[in-house]
Amino acid sequence: MMLNNLSLKTLQLLFYLFPITFILGNSITNIFILLISVIGIFFYQNKLIEKNDKYLLILFSSFFSFILLSSYLNHFFFKENPDISKSIFYLRYFIFLIVLRTMIFKRDINLNYFLIFNLYIVLFVVSDILIQFTTGKNILGYEAQYASTYYRGFFTGFFKEELIAGGFILMFSTLGFFSVPLIFKKQSKDFLLIIFIFLSLILLTALFLTGNRMPTILFMFFLISSLVLYKNQMKKFIKVLITAITCGVIFFAVYKIDNIEKRYMSFFIGLPNPIVIYKELKKDYPELKKYKNTGIPFYATEEYGIKKKMSENLPLKYEILPFYTGHTSIYITSIDLLLEKPLFGRGIKSFRNYCKEKIHLPNRVCESHPHNFFLDLLNDLGILGLLLILTPTSLLFISNYSEYLSRDKEKKFSDWIYLTVCLAILIHFFPFKSSGSFFSTFNSAFTFLILGISLGIHDLKKQLNNNKEKIN
């Protein structure tokens, strides 16, 4: 009994502290995932999967099974060389998902504590960025200036040279934002409104300073989505949004930071153009086929050199897209590869290997991932893999939001948890979001954190409803 109590306390502590691991680095995050998974298996044993609604769990297990299947098929049938070990190791997130779901389903953790802590850790990171902006250094002495001129002057706080502070703030603010009424339980609604306005303002300011364009834009989308989903408080949240954005614009005008300004302007200039992408995919360059599989980029090819010597301007046939500031070029490469293996993909984290086959062509760029969740999933797991993760995720969103809508007006705000997880899913899976790899530790850990929580509250609510029916 004592050992069980210790296991439970350890699980609770690891869960509450989990957001901090995203600051400490991938190694710490993976250690926490491993500990939660192992202790969870030991503590719950056969209770991990009980007789309840299993269809969502089956769908998630199908996704993880497909990851192994995709790698297997590519290795043994298509004679390609995916890293099967990465697929096997990725199964840790499935165990992590099940344990989180069970912890919530069994009511072994207090989600109030967790979401409040999310808000506190976000505010801690935001404060650190503001200190870095004010003094030139964060509390650990990290400066905003780096060796790379392109990234010079961006404020990254604890994340040093990694441009992910904005992503962290966005992800965990979606979980912590609506925990304000839990902190100020006895305060009036007008007071809470002021807190929401202040919170929105400082979060927007910090996001702007990070130079992370998409998280900044998506946070504003988060506020707008809150207005739409949280209908009974529409007028008040409109005030929050307008006030926060107005103050943000004033701040940006007063504290004009050239490099950050250029970065945000380049975002709108360099937005991917579907028409340009389509036209580029239709082009063919047979004279450059000899460079295929060589890893030689177009600008390093012999043909490029010859054409450049013959004329100051390259012929239209070899025109390079003028908007490298966006992700147009990498999207073209990604779609090119997708069309070759549309159903099963090539196995997880394979994009970085196969995109090199395309960089002998103009307007093809090779990076470690396509900078978009959907393109990343499509390239690595194909259409089937994408559907296998989006289907249970969409069903969870629909189910939890429907549950939220079913609450009467008086109880709506007390049932904030449904709105929170729905907004977290909506923002995290936003189709046009530029992002890191879906399969990176940073993104996968957060993905299955919110899906584990969503699955847990879905199953718990369903059990409670079933018990009511039995009583009646």
Q: Give yes or no for residue 266 having a pLDDT over 50.
A: yes
Q: Give yes or no for residue 208 having a pLDDT over 50.
A: yes
Question: Of 91-95, 140-144, 292-296, 366-370, which one has max mean pLDDT?
Answer: 91-95
Which range is least confidently modeled, 85-99, 301-315, 388-402?
301-315
Q: In DSSP terms, which residues pair with 434 in a beta bridge?
A: 372
Domain membership of residue 342 (yes or no) is yes
Number of domains, the chain: 1
What pLDDT was estimated at residue 326?
57
Whether the CB-CB separation of 400 and 421 falls below 8 Å is answered with: yes
Q: Residues of 427-457 as b/e, b for ≥16 C-beta within 10 angstroms?
A: bbbbeebbbbbbbbbbbbbbbbbbbbbbbbb
Q: Give yes or no for residue 291 having a pLDDT over 50.
A: yes
Domain membership of residue 310 (yes or no) is yes
What pLDDT was estimated at residue 221?
85
Domain membership of residue 430 (yes or no) is no
What pLDDT was estimated at residue 51?
58
Average of per-residue pLDDT across 346-353: 86
What pLDDT was estimated at residue 170?
92
Q: Report the chain's mean pLDDT, rounded to a whole number.
A: 80
CA distances to 39, 135, 204, 238, 253 from 250, in Å? 50, 21, 12, 18, 5
What pLDDT was estimated at residue 304?
78
pLDDT in tens, 6-54: 888 999 999 999 999 999 989 999 999 999 999 999 888 877 776 556 7
Domain membership of residue 42 (yes or no) is no
Residue with the larger pLDDT of the pair 404 and 176: 176
Domain membership of residue 311 (yes or no) is yes
Question: Cα–Cα distance between 116 and 104 in angstroms, integer?
Answer: 16
Q: What's this model's pTM, rounded to 2 decimal places?
A: 0.86
Whether the CB-CB separation of 68 and 87 falls below 8 Å is answered with: yes
Question: Cα–Cα distance between 452 and 112 in angstroms, integer?
Answer: 16
- Domain containing 302 equals 274-322+328-370
What pLDDT was estimated at residue 259?
54
Q: What is the DSSP string of 83-139?
A: -HHHHHHTTHHHHHHHHHHHHHHTT-S-HHHHHHHHHHHHHHHHHHHHHHHHHSB-T
Question: Of 133-137, 162-166, 167-171, 354-358, which one has max mean pLDDT?
Answer: 167-171
What pLDDT was estimated at residue 413?
46
Residue with the larger pLDDT of the pair 456 and 327: 456
What pLDDT was estimated at residue 150?
44
Q: Give yes or no for residue 371 having a pLDDT over 60.
A: yes
What pLDDT was estimated at residue 258?
52
pLDDT in tens, 272-289: 677 778 788 888 888 888
3-state secondary structure at position 176: helix
Domain membership of residue 365 (yes or no) is yes
What pLDDT was estimated at residue 161?
73
Average of per-residue pLDDT across 126-136: 85
Q: Give yes or no for residue 320 having a pLDDT over 70.
A: no
Domain membership of residue 46 (yes or no) is no
What pLDDT was estimated at residue 264?
56
Share of the chain above pLDDT 90, in %: 28
What pLDDT was estimated at residue 94?
94
Domain membership of residue 288 (yes or no) is yes
Q: Give yes or no for residue 141 having a pLDDT over 80.
A: no
